[in-house]
Amino acid sequence: MNTTLALFPLEMVVFPTEKLALHIFEARYQQLIQDCIEEEMTFGIPAFINKEMRYGTEVKLVEVVKRYPSGASDVICEGLRSFTVKSFTPTLGEKLYAGGKVRFLSNNDDGTASQRLRFYTLVKNLYDALDVVLPEFDPGLVTSYSFAHKIGLSLEQELKMLNMTEESDRFAFLIDHLSVTVPVIQQINKTKELIQLNGHFKNFDPLDFADYKIQDE
């Protein structure tokens, strides 16, 4: 079933459960935020990528952090559920902001404990390889969206993940990505170490080959 939703297209992917900080300055989106406050309505953020809008996420306004004399504001929104864009109009009725018809996607939370642990372990390995501190996080609460923006996915990869309706598929997708990415970064680190050693005296570990014998051919 299609649903009419106010739309705020952005050149980014927003995931369900994600907290998103936005600076609102255009008049049309100032009106949108005011309507969200007065009518407790939600709106959609479709990903505008390669001049297409195919998928997006419904969000709700959580907090208006700051208001400016110009009418602009800083707000916090939270992602709710993903959707496909069925139609789009630059103005929704008499409103200044855009809108359209969307169809919400189902979500099957079928991820396994082993996938969750494998994903979290790979994320930790990635952060260790990058020499970045991993924020404290309960591994048991990890979802496929927990680090989705922070593991080197391209916009196209994020969009592909957004339209997946099975948590197990999202975990598999991310695990495949990290299984390739982490070894590459680890190898780059080793290469950097070798480059830094260039021109320096190398301290080789002594080899014990006293019992080594040449095999007769």
pLDDT digit string, tens, across residues 135-160: 888 888 999 999 999 999 999 999 99
* Contact by Cβ (8 Å): 100, 119: no
**Do 79 and 130 lie in a common domain?**
no
Domain boundary among 85, 104, 123: 104
pLDDT of 214 strictly over 60: no
What is the Cα–Cα distance from 33 to 60, expressed in whole angstroms? 10
Least confident of 45-49, 60-64, 203-207: 203-207
**Do 117 and 158 lie in a common domain?**
yes
- Look up the CATH number of the domain holding residue 99: 2.30.130.40
**Do 65 and 126 lie in a common domain?**
no
- The model's pTM: 0.85
**pLDDT higher at 78 or 216:** 78
**Do 13 and 100 lie in a common domain?**
yes
- Tell me if 212 is assigned to some domain: no
| Domain extent for 68 | 3-104
What is the Cα–Cα distance from 56 to 15, expressed in whole angstroms? 8
**Do 161 and 82 lie in a common domain?**
no
**pLDDT average, residue stretch 109-136:** 93
pLDDT of 167 strictly over 60: yes
- Tell me if 210 is assigned to some domain: no
The mean pLDDT of the chain is 91
Q: Which pLDDT belongs to residue 97?
A: 97
For residue 30, what is the DSSP state? H
pLDDT of 195 strictly over 90: no
**Do 127 and 69 lie in a common domain?**
no
**Do 151 and 83 lie in a common domain?**
no
**Do 122 and 192 lie in a common domain?**
yes
**Do 52 and 26 lie in a common domain?**
yes
**Do 126 and 158 lie in a common domain?**
yes
The two three-digit tokens of residue 73, written as one number: 């504001």
Using pLDDT thresholds of 50, 70 and 90, give the confidence band for residue 104: very high
**Do 131 and 88 lie in a common domain?**
no
**Do 100 and 121 lie in a common domain?**
no
- Tell me if 205 is assigned to some domain: no
Q: Which pLDDT belongs to residue 112?
A: 95
- Tell me if 79 is assigned to some domain: yes
Q: Which pLDDT belongs to residue 150?
A: 94
- Domains: count for the chain: 2
What is the Cα–Cα distance from 92 to 24, expressed in whole angstroms? 18
pLDDT of 23 strictly over 80: yes
- Tell me if 217 is assigned to some domain: no
Domain boundary among 72, 104, 136: 104
* Contact by Cβ (8 Å): 16, 83: no
- Tell me if 213 is assigned to some domain: no
Using pLDDT thresholds of 50, 70 and 90, give the confidence band for residue 213: low
